[in-house]
Amino acid sequence: MLIWVVGVAIAGDVGAVWPLVVAVLAELVNECFDRVRTGSWRLPDTIADIVNSVLWPVALFVLARSGLI
């Protein structure tokens, strides 16, 4: 979420796509590092981490694109 907030602050637009893309990519890289650290994919943990990390940036992006914020 912090990466998305910084991206929005720089872009000046909550509806900008690139802060969302950067947040998603950062989370995917984080999950790859978790995979290397643990030695295997832990699918339930990985899915929960991705959903929890990307939920609010996606929700705010959708609300901004729809004109609600």
Residues 6+ apart with CB under 8 A from 49: 27, 30, 31, 34
The span from the CA of 47 to the CA of 68, in Å, is 28
pLDDT of 16-43, one tens digit each? 788 888 889 999 999 999 999 998 889 9
The reported pLDDT for the residue numbered 67 is: 84
- Average pLDDT, stretch 40-58? 91
Share of the chain above pLDDT 90, in %: 35
Quote the number of domains for the chain.
Answer: 1
Domain span at residue 20 reads 2-65
